[in-house]
Structure 1
């Protein structure tokens, strides 16, 4: 751990477990060699761009990688330097073509560690069979992939909702989303059928954690073909037109928390803005390096050059700065971070557009000339957060003591930031760790003041989860992966209310998971 507030590349307690997945065939070369491969990819993207500060940029970018303050999506970490560099994470595929064309395209994307989203109308003759066939084909071709592949299917709520929900929780590798337009939400109180459908969704979520909810009227719908249907990617943070893809990167907020003596940390906004600019430049550049699965995806993707710069470690950063997750102060902090991020990414994209031209599909109605049609998307960062040893995306800390299954290996530990905070407040580190692992509560070990500062996900009311998500969403142009992890005692009525609240405060979507709904949840309180 570096200065008690974060890990460098390869130092995380999960790094050893992740070597087979992330270092893959380069496992013997170590984590520093991974950073070198990614920097070499950035260097190739810079070739021919005639940027005066290329060497300075590459040096800063390499340092950010080693410091785990900036990490690109995991497909890039695995595939940088390969003959076919499949380095994008997010894809949407048009399935309105023969399955003999669709399934090989899914397999090509999955083999490169990409996730695939697709849309159905809900009026297909064999709706559930279609979804199940794609799910089963994905499972059948998992062998040899660095990580299991996954899909997401989105259906409008006015489709065959009964059939759609009948397979919720029964698919192996497919997340389900229901798209709900603003008109539907406005009609709820006066339309019994609309309420029946939404209540059925709430019941399904209560039972299985599926489906997620998407409000498509709020999507940034820029595409080569303006009438293209859109689909959420696997986690929902990067809605794309079908047959389009995008790369992501995340900034680790923990690495911008600075201690200048006693007390809590201060957030280094200047350093954060600079690294947001680095991420933007890098993601735009790799558009010219990606090996696409089809000519159509390549054409559509290069027409918009969408990227997604996001954040991770939000909950840990709040703790270090002395702010409780879900409090009004945390909402204000979220607003500040999101505003800085969007401004920095947009400014860099506009600078790139001045030098190299805007994305080819740009029109005056899209706003200022910029290089990328999509800019800020906040992913769940499951794998990246493990590499960095921090909390995922903008989620709360799951628990002070974790039992995390990573590639079949269970890692049980006390959250590293919890351990750092205990030590900073004069609590014996070894004794505290032993007590927590033996089952003592954080309140018993740390006292009320520190325990109140570090709530677990289940301690945060659903309305506060939504308030944090909405604070970020107000300032960014794409989506957010965010789950309300709620107690097993949560009711269907509460879930229904949260969906309505999320819509009313401007969220683009919502995912809810009731504790122990599934037997195989990968992260558990220990």
Structure 2
């Protein structure tokens, strides 16, 4: 359909235009841009509205529906997930973001899954896998008489294969890897990301069962079960496993957890089997060979100025957009061309959609409601309850026009005499990192990471991004000034700026201003009225303890969440020992008066391989409360003298650590000590000159190197965007760049 003469020009902000031009606009053979924002949204609107012609009893005609879809998208009230914006109306035609593939317990099934994952990633999607069907490491393989290599070895193959696929320069798909807590290899899985860089294309989650959680509560053992023959292979203490799971999440953010029994209690089509995995960010549990189409409503666009509380929400307009969104997403199912026939069949059989939200933090700003307040939680339940109820009504109307989803007769809805519905699920809170940049709003249901931040653009120019609602509030209060904006840009937050009005400091809070418990409460409030699950990150400061994460995990279980992701600031690339000079001095003073600490019975650590002139050295550092406690250095295939030197240096460094000597002082003493056989090592600038120099490199790399940008100083991440080198932030279960919209999980 040609563009109507009265189709308005679409105005986008500078950041959105950069994102659209780089990732969304259609390109020609010479990579030239073939469309602008108006062309993109008209392409999508007409392609999706065109599906209406298949239904002779539809209450809409295709042409006016296309205009309605165009308007609702370009008014930034609703946007579908990224693959729909990229591919609708194109030859590719793959419009879904999230898929789940089964991994069976045979070489043929495993490598079929690798192949299918490659096809999905090539088409723009991300994949979730459960590796729980694979027999454990070292168990017998009947057909060959050999032994199995276990889930982790195959997980590494999946990671390598999908890492190589770059989807047309627009999206790099992510993966979710899940293992049941009762799988015999669960401890290896929990520790899979102890070394940074391992499985970097995977989010990992442990599938916890109700029986396991009860065993944790009672401090009991639970059985490990070989999935190949259903036989028990041993027992573990549930509380000890839970503690290690919490410890590893504290160290790196991985693994997360999903509550498998809770997910399956909400499975609308249990006759088709159990759900065993989710999409990469955890918000969409799916059956094997199933996909889901997602879209998000920008809540900030439904604010009515001059009113307060619930009366300031335009409920009638929200209802209209919900119904349009449900129709849009159902049409996407018909318009999408899936990479596998099995996926096509399952998607059309269940017709799952996931309508969610973005701009939640912005709406709270406009309403002057603090994110960390009971009033915000109450409104969250009101808003999501309304969206879920109206979404169901929209699905019911579609069922009258088009018929219910084919599997309706055997679904839980038919047994409860509910519906009929067109869609087995209607609501999902999905990540909206890229979409929210296009729409100019806050991501999903997350608080802002920073009220202001600076990003570098062409020729070294520095552009300050300011939340518009915050800027207006400052002007209304007579507080705005360029000097203040610069100060906020440096800090990202006004939480500690006592000279500003208290109401402003209470309302305009950022992710790190908010106690972790409020993050979790907000997730639970939205989950209460969401068919699928909620993508949300519980952000913690670097100083957060293992106990803090334990409480969050347990509270997620108690409050009905289907899973939870935590992220302790700075845990990914360096373990920062101090938050400031004053704390450093206090810690040093305390250490000088402290006796040698005794070794606990149970410690956790990591092992780093170092190439030395004497052979490969393995440096193991164990930690207590996140701080290095002891060091072991071993060198294989070397003389007894060299082995003795390595052991002696490790013992002395351990004694220094246990006596309170700071890491940087130890590194200063042993770094650069020369030896008779220096060697170059990948990842180290220069040579490993000796055994002590190699140990120093490991300690410095792990504990002291903190290349921290302004984003990082604000608690905005410690990894850098591969596209623009800005600091990445961790939200909605994924690392993403607020400057250029790069994301490791899509959006």
Same fold (TM over 0.5): yes
Quick check: 1:41 aligned with 2:87? no
Q: Which secondary structure does the structure 1 equivalent of 2:334 belong to?
A: coil
Q: Measure, in 1, the Cα distance between the counterparts of 2:366 and 2:14.
A: 18
Q: Measure, in 2, the Cα distance between the counterparts of 1:234 and 1:299.
A: 22
Given candidates 79, 87, 94, the residue that maps to 1:71 is 79
Quick check: 1:287 aligned with 2:333? yes
Contact 2:542 2:568 in 1 (8 A): yes
Contact 1:12 1:389 in 2 (8 A): no
Contact 1:223 1:303 in 2 (8 A): no
Deviates more, 1:167-176 or 1:263-272: 263-272
Quick check: 1:383 aligned with 2:391? no
Q: Which secondary structure does the structure 1 equivalent of 2:46 belong to?
A: helix
Quick check: 1:274 aligned with 2:330? no
Q: Measure, in 2, the Cα distance between the counterparts of 1:413 and 1:467.
A: 29
Quick check: 1:300 aligned with 2:362? no
Given candidates 533, 540, 550, the residue that maps to 1:479 is 533
Q: Which secondary structure does the structure 1 equivalent of 2:272 belong to?
A: coil
1:259-288 superposed Cα distances (whole Å, 9 cap, x missing partner): 138999911111112111111001111111
Q: 1:474 to 1:9 in 2, by over 3 A?
A: farther
Contact 1:92 1:233 in 2 (8 A): yes
Q: Measure, in 2, the Cα distance between the counterparts of 1:319 and 1:431.
A: 22
Aligned position for 2:162: 138
Quick check: 1:507 aligned with 2:561? yes
Alpha-carbon offset, residue 223 of structure 1: 4.3
Alpha-carbon offset, residue 250 of structure 1: 0.1
Deviates more, 1:352-361 or 1:179-188: 179-188
Quick check: 1:127 aligned with 2:181? no
Contact 1:215 1:503 in 2 (8 A): yes
1:99-134 superposed Cα distances (whole Å, 9 cap, x missing partner): 442223212211222110111116443211111110
Given candidates 108, 113, 125, the residue that maps to 2:119 is 108
1:351-390 superposed Cα distances (whole Å, 9 cap, x missing partner): 1112211111113126321010111000121111121122
Contact 1:312 1:392 in 2 (8 A): yes
**Runs of 5+ consecutive residues of structure 1 not aligned to the other structure:** 1-7
1:413-458 superposed Cα distances (whole Å, 9 cap, x missing partner): 2333322322233333545433423558525374322011111111
Q: Measure, in 2, the Cα distance between the counterparts of 1:389 and 1:430.
A: 22
Aligned position for 1:343: 389
Deviates more, 1:110-119 or 1:263-272: 263-272
Q: Which secondary structure does the structure 2 equivalent of 1:361 belong to?
A: helix
Q: Measure, in 2, the Cα distance between the counterparts of 1:412 and 1:105.
A: 43
Aligned position for 2:305: 259
Q: Measure, in 2, the Cα distance between the counterparts of 1:163 and 1:24.
A: 44
Deviates more, 1:206-215 or 1:136-145: 136-145
Q: Measure, in 2, the Cα distance between the counterparts of 1:423 and 1:493.
A: 41
Given candidates 542, 546, 555, the residue that maps to 1:492 is 546
Contact 2:122 2:167 in 1 (8 A): no
Q: Which secondary structure does the structure 1 equivalent of 2:128 belong to?
A: strand
Alpha-carbon offset, residue 15 of structure 1: 3.1
Larger radius of gyration: 2
Q: 1:248 to 1:57 in 2, by over 3 A?
A: same
Aligned position for 1:19: 21
Q: Which secondary structure does the structure 1 equivalent of 2:535 belong to?
A: coil
Q: Measure, in 2, the Cα distance between the counterparts of 1:476 and 1:437.
A: 35
Deviates more, 1:248-257 or 1:413-422: 413-422
Deviates more, 1:137-146 or 1:338-347: 137-146
Q: Measure, in 1, the Cα distance between the counterparts of 2:456 and 2:366.
A: 26
Aligned position for 1:249: 295
Q: Measure, in 1, the Cα distance between the counterparts of 2:111 and 2:517.
A: 45
Q: Which secondary structure does the structure 1 equivalent of 2:404 belong to?
A: coil
Contact 2:284 2:533 in 1 (8 A): yes
Aligned position for 1:167: 192
Aligned position for 2:246: 202
Q: Measure, in 1, the Cα distance between the counterparts of 2:135 and 2:437.
A: 40
Q: Measure, in 1, the Cα distance between the counterparts of 2:11 and 2:293.
A: 20
What is the aligned residue count?
A: 517
Aligned position for 2:662: none
Alpha-carbon offset, residue 66 of structure 1: 0.4
Aligned position for 1:365: 415
Contact 2:493 2:510 in 1 (8 A): no
Q: 1:335 to 1:262 in 2, by over 3 A?
A: closer
Quick check: 1:516 aligned with 2:570? yes
The TM-score normalised by the length of structure 1 is 0.92
Contact 2:176 2:281 in 1 (8 A): yes
Deviates more, 1:428-437 or 1:316-325: 428-437
Q: Measure, in 2, the Cα distance between the counterparts of 1:483 and 1:285.
A: 31
Q: Measure, in 1, the Cα distance between the counterparts of 2:102 and 2:298.
A: 33
Alpha-carbon offset, residue 523 of structure 1: 2.3
Q: Measure, in 2, the Cα distance between the counterparts of 1:148 and 1:28.
A: 22
Q: 1:263 to 1:339 in 2, by over 3 A?
A: closer
Q: 1:411 to 1:177 in 2, by over 3 A?
A: farther
1:386-409 superposed Cα distances (whole Å, 9 cap, x missing partner): 211222111111121236799xx9
Contact 2:429 2:530 in 1 (8 A): no
**Structure with more of its chain in helix, by fraction:** 1
Q: Measure, in 2, the Cα distance between the counterparts of 1:387 and 1:446.
A: 31
Q: Measure, in 2, the Cα distance between the counterparts of 1:490 and 1:480.
A: 23
1:276-302 superposed Cα distances (whole Å, 9 cap, x missing partner): 111100111111111111111111111
Contact 2:303 2:366 in 1 (8 A): yes
Q: Which has the higher contact order (CA 8 A, sep 6+)?
A: 1
Q: Which secondary structure does the structure 2 equivalent of 1:433 belong to?
A: helix
1:459-511 superposed Cα distances (whole Å, 9 cap, x missing partner): 11121111111111111211000110110111111111111111111111111
Alpha-carbon offset, residue 13 of structure 1: 2.9
Aligned position for 2:735: none
Alpha-carbon offset, residue 95 of structure 1: 2.0
The TM-score normalised by the length of structure 2 is 0.66
Q: Which secondary structure does the structure 2 equivalent of 1:249 belong to?
A: strand
Q: Measure, in 2, the Cα distance between the counterparts of 1:223 and 1:411.
A: 50
Quick check: 1:186 aligned with 2:214? yes
Deviates more, 1:369-378 or 1:382-391: 382-391
Given candidates 436, 448, 453, the residue that maps to 1:402 is 453
Q: 1:405 to 1:12 in 2, by over 3 A?
A: same
Q: Measure, in 1, the Cα distance between the counterparts of 2:449 and 2:99.
A: 28
Q: Measure, in 1, the Cα distance between the counterparts of 2:493 and 2:129.
A: 43
Aligned position for 1:459: 513
Quick check: 1:148 aligned with 2:148? no
Aligned position for 2:129: 118
**Runs of 5+ consecutive residues of structure 2 not aligned to the other structure:** 1-9, 138-149, 221-236, 574-718, 720-726, 731-737, 740-747
1:209-255 superposed Cα distances (whole Å, 9 cap, x missing partner): 11121112222323485224431101111100010001000001111
Q: Which secondary structure does the structure 1 equivalent of 2:15 belong to?
A: coil
Aligned position for 1:5: none
